[in-house]
Structure 1
Amino acid sequence: MPRLLAVCAVHQLRPDSGSLGVTAIDKRPLEGAVKVGPFGVRGDVQASRKHHGGHDKALYAYAQEDAEFWEGELGRALPPGWFGENLRVEGLDVNAARIGEIWRIGDRLEVEVTMPRTPCATFARWVGGSAARGWVKRFDAERRLGPYLRVRRAGSIRAGDEIVVVAAPDGAPALLDGYRGA
C-alpha cells in the first residue's frame, strides 16, 4: 500500500551563494495533521518563486526507495525533507507517474502530477562536499527526479496516510517521457 512517510516544510532559510543569497531547501518533517492548500504545505516557503512554488509546483514528492538508492551512493542517511521535498512517500513509483495523474492522500487531499523536478546548482551546493561536483548531471542521469504536484482539492494530511492513484489519463506521457535533463 503506497503511503505518506512524512510531510515536510522549511526548517530555516539557509545562506546560499546563489543569486538570492538564501535557500529554503532545508525541509524537515512536521508532526500531526498538516494543512495543504493551493500553494502547498501551510508554513512552507520557497526562496526562489521563479523556479519553485506556484500552483503547478505547489508540492514536491520524493520516494523513500529513491532516497535509499542515494543513501547507498552518498554513504549517509538522507532523512525526509533532505531532497527539498514536501512529501516523502513509500510504495509508489513516483517517476513512473503520468502527467495529469491524480493521487488522493489521506481522506481528502487530491493532487495532480504536473512535471519532473529539474535539479539545480542550489541543490548541488546543498549536497556539499566532493559529491556536489557534477551532482546536477548525476542526479539527472539516474532519472530519480520525483514529481511536482498541483493541489486539486485542499485538505489535511499526516505521516502514515494512504496514497491512492485515483486516475491516470490514458495516453498521457509518463513523468520522464521527453525529459531532456538539466
Structure 2
Amino acid sequence: MTGRLVTVNLGVVTEAEWAGDASGRSGIDKRPVDGPVLLRVDGVAGDFIGERAHHGGPDQIVYAYAEEDAAWWAAELGRDIRPGAFGENLTTYAVDVTGAVVGERWQIGTALLEVTKPRTPCRTFAGFWGVPDLIKRFTVRAAPGAYLRVLREGEVGAGDPVEVVERPAHGVTVGEVFRASTLEPELLPRLLDVPELPESLRRKVARRLATPDA
C-alpha cells in the first residue's frame, strides 16, 4: 500500500489562554514547510512542542493526519482547513491512517516510522479551532490520526511516497484503540494483545480492566 505526503508541517509558538502548558504557549499551530525535514528518534527537527508532559516522547514523535479526514471536517464545519491545522507533522493522502495497524511500519523518504497509538483530543485543540464542543465531536467521529515513533532517522518531504512495509498480524488498528479508550470499552481486552502499544497505555488499559468502574 502506497500513499504520499501532502505536506510536512512544523509548529510555531502560539501564546493564548487556551494553550495547554503553564506558560500559556502551544505548538499545535503547525505550518507546511518547503524542503526536507529531519525526523529524529527524539523529535522532529525545527518543530515546537509546548506541553511536553502530554506531547512528545519516544512513542509520539510524529503525528500524522489524513487529508481525506480533514476534508470531512471542512465540510462539517463549513470552513477551510489547511494542512497542519490538526497539529499534525505529516498530512497524508491515500493512507488509511485510522485503519493503520498498531506496529505497522511506514517507509517515507529515508526515514522508517512505526505506528504507536491514536491522538486523544484536548482542550488546547478545541481552543485553537474555536469550537467549544470539538472534543466530543472529534471523539464521535473517531478518525483521530496516528502517532508514530522513529525507528530509523531520515529526511521526509512533501510528495514523498508513504509505503507500508510491514504490518503485524494482530490486526488492532489505530481506530480500534481510540474507540476502546473512549466510547467502546468492551474493546479494551483486545489491546492487551498488542505488544507494540506504548507501555504507558498498556498499563492504563490493565488498570481499567481491573477496575471497570474507574
TM-score, normalised on structure 2?
0.79
For each residue in 1:136-173, what CA deviation from the matched residue of structure 2 results, as whole angstroms up to 9, or x when unmatched? Answer: 01001101100000000010111000010010100141
> Matches of 1:96 and 1:148 in 2, distance apart?
13
For each residue in 1:14-73, what CA deviation from the matched residue of structure 2 results, as whole angstroms up to 9, or x when unmatched? Answer: 323345212111100111111111123201121111111011010000000000000001
* Residue of structure 2 in register with 1:3 after alignment: 4
Are the aligned partners of 1:116 and 1:176 in contact in 2 as well (CA < 8 Å)? Answer: yes
Percent identity of the aligned residues? 43
* Residue of structure 2 in register with 1:163 after alignment: 162
Structure 1 residue 88, shift from structure 2 partner: 0.2
> Matches of 2:42 and 2:48 in 1, distance apart?
9
* Residue of structure 2 in register with 1:13 after alignment: 14
Are the aligned partners of 1:41 and 1:59 in contact in 2 as well (CA < 8 Å)? Answer: yes
Which residue, out of 36, 39, 57, partners 1:36? 39
> Matches of 1:121 and 1:80 in 2, distance apart?
20
Greater than 6 Å deviation, 4+ residue runs = none
> Matches of 1:14 and 1:31 in 2, distance apart?
24
Are the aligned partners of 1:115 and 1:148 in contact in 2 as well (CA < 8 Å)? Answer: yes
Structure 1 residue 125, shift from structure 2 partner: 0.4
Q: Secondary structure at the match of 1:166?
A: strand
Larger radius of gyration: 2
Structure 1: any 5+ residue segments left out of the alignment? none
Within 5 Å, which residues of 2 pair with 1:81-120? Answer: 81-106=84-109, 108-120=110-122
Higher relative contact order (CA 8 A, sep 6+): 1
Are the aligned partners of 2:44 and 2:62 in contact in 1 as well (CA < 8 Å)? Answer: yes
Q: Secondary structure at the match of 1:99?
A: coil
CA separation of 1:103 and 1:78: change in aligned 2, threshold 3 A: same
Are the aligned partners of 2:103 and 2:114 in contact in 1 as well (CA < 8 Å)? Answer: yes
Within 5 Å, which residues of 2 pair with 1:140-155? Answer: 140-155=139-154
Q: How many residues align?
A: 178
1:26 aligns with 2:29: yes
